[in-house]
């Protein structure tokens, strides 16, 4: 079983590849993966991507949102009316980091570290509430012990990005 298959199994809502139920404004999307409430309820859609590690990282994040919604977490991703999505993004990022760490996904962790550390450098991103929520969540995440463990593991296994 691949790590992607494991996440698909864990995800409480349907996970589809190139679903016809696609909506233009995903509740959350990252790279080629998005989580949104479609006409048939919550759905994670995996678009086509050439990079498996990136898909894994994005799928772990969107699965985090789906799990929060399934247990009716107060971060309330399911509600489009939620004005501040920082907590929702924080929960999704934390879930993804923990899952990738627990499953020793070196490639996924490498993408996570590169992506989250970049987001943590910004306070807000232009006029995008979606990206601003991600940035605020990332700044909170990088202060966690869990994050230090992820970074240490990545370093130990020399899975830092070597071409940057």
What is the closest distance, in whole angstroms, from the C-beta atom of residue 28 to Zn ion in the complex?
Answer: 3
Candidate ranges 73-81, 101-109, 119-127, 153-161; the one touching Zn ion (CB under 5 A): 73-81
According to the binding rule CB under 5 A, does residue 92 interact with Zn ion? yes
Q: What is the sign, positive or negative, of the torsion defined by CA atoms of 30, 36, 38, 40?
A: positive
Q: Which of 28/154 has CB closer to Zn ion?
A: 28
According to the binding rule CB under 5 A, does residue 136 interact with Zn ion? no
Residue 150 in contact with residue 100, Cβ under 8 Å? yes
Candidate ranges 17-25, 82-90, 114-122, 138-146; the one touching Zn ion (CB under 5 A): 82-90
According to DSSP, residue 85 is labeled: -
Cα torsion through 48, 50, 54, 57, rounded to 10 = 50
The span from the CA of 117 to the CA of 36, in Å, is 25
According to the binding rule CB under 5 A, does residue 28 interact with Zn ion? yes
Contacting positions for Zn ion (CB under 5 A): 28, 68, 73, 75, 89, 91-92
């Amino acid at each position: 079983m691949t790590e992607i298959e494991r996440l698909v199994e864990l995800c409480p809502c349907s996970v589809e590849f190139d679903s016809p139920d696609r909506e233009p404004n995903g509740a959350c999307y990252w790279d080629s993966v998005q989580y949104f409430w479609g006409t048939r309820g919550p759905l994670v859609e995996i678009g086509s991507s050439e990079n498996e590690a990136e898909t894994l990282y994005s799928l772990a994040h969107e699965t985090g949102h789906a799990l929060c919604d399934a247990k009716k977490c107060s971060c309330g991703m399911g509600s489009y009316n939620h004005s501040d999505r920082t907590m929702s993004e924080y929960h999704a990022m934390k879930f993804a980091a923990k899952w990738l760490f627990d499953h020793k996904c070196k490639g996924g962790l490498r993408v996570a570290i590169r992506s989250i550390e970049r987001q943590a450098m910004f306070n807000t991103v232009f006029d995008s509430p979606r990206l601003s929520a991600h940035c605020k969540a990332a700044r909170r995440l990088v202060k966690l012990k869990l994050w230090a463990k992820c970074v240490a593991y990545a370093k130990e296994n020399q899975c830092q990005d070597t071409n940057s």
